[in-house]
Amino acid sequence: MKPGTTSAACTALLKRDLALTWRRRGDALNPLLFAIIVVALFPFALGPEAQILERIAAGTIFVAVLLASLLSLDSLFRSDLDDGSLEQLVLSPHPLSLLLACKIAIHWLTTAVPLIAAAPLLAMLLHLPDSVLPVLLAALALATPLLSLIGAICVALTVALRRSGMLLTLLVLPLIVPVLIFGAGACNAAQAGLPYAAPLLWLAAWLVLALVLAPLATAAALRISLT
């Protein structure tokens, strides 16, 4: 790979972010532990009755994943801002949207993929039927990248603010509620024996649109925040 090319810059950025995540692997596991704790508390609060837990399983898992992803969003660009590398990315001759897409991909891989891998355990805790588990995994695979892409835009808008946690939450939550509704709705439809393809197709369509537009919007928002 020729040094100085865009592909070399993206590869170097991916390696750097993966190395930083590995060094702070304790912090990277916080969203996963948070989601497991949230789901594990529901049987204690509602009782061990399988019918009650089965009815709320899909929605509970989606809410736990949503909150866990929200917990990790503020750190998406924070360390880069603190060490000055974020300004270097903005001033880089390479396309900023492509570089930011790499950072968002690393955030999804290190935050959402462990949550998706833990989904069968969470489903077992809440007695989710085995027939619904593939639908849950498909919905999470479509919904979690959307959460990262939408959240990246909001993080870029608030990254220059030192205390942006509350503002970030207020910006992100209204935008990701439809993702929650359609993801949990697909699982509930599968559990009731109804067609569930339509919500998944809507999520897939939004994901394709977000993959194209979200990095561009994030780059524009980041330039606005840092000027």
- CA-nearest of 218, 224, 216, 226 to 86 is 226
Closest alpha carbon to 150 in 44, 83, 76: 76
First to last CA, the chain: 33
In angstroms, the CA 155 to CA 220 distance is 12
User: Is residue 220 a contact partner of residue 100, using CB atoms and an 8 Å limit?
Assistant: no
Q: How does pLDDT run across 112-134, given as a tens digit for each residue?
A: 888 899 888 888 888 888 888 89
Instruction: Locate all alpha helices (DSSP H) within the chain, ordered by sequence.
Output: 6-23, 25-28, 30-46, 50-73, 78-83, 85-91, 96-107, 113-125, 133-158, 165-191, 197-226
Among 15, 169, 146, 152, which residue's Cα sits nearest to residue 78? Answer: 152
Residue position matching structure tokens 């040094």: 3
Assigned token pair, 195: 């067609």
Residue listed under structure tokens 């704790």:
37
Give the pLDDT score at 165.
Answer: 64
List, in order, residues 6 or more apart from 184 with CB less than 8 Å away: 58, 59, 62, 139
Q: What is the pLDDT of residue 156?
A: 84
- Contact between 122 and 44 under an 8 Å Cβ cutoff? The reply is no
pLDDT for the residue 167: 74
Q: Largest Cα–Cα distance of the chain, in whole Å? A: 60
Residue 119, phi-psi category: left (phi > 0), alpha (psi -120 to 50), beta (remainder): alpha
Tell me the backbone φ, ψ of residue 113, rounded to 5 degrees: -60, -45
Contact call for residues 56 and 98 (beta carbons, < 8 A): no
Q: What is the pLDDT along the chain (227 residues), one digit of tens a residue?
A: 566 677 777 787 788 878 877 777 777 778 888 888 888 888 888 877 888 888 888 888 888 888 888 888 877 777 777 777 777 777 778 888 888 888 888 888 888 888 899 888 888 888 888 888 899 999 999 999 998 899 888 888 887 776 666 777 778 888 888 888 898 889 989 988 888 899 999 999 999 999 999 999 988 888 887 77
- Cβ atoms of 104 and 218 within 8 Å: the answer is yes
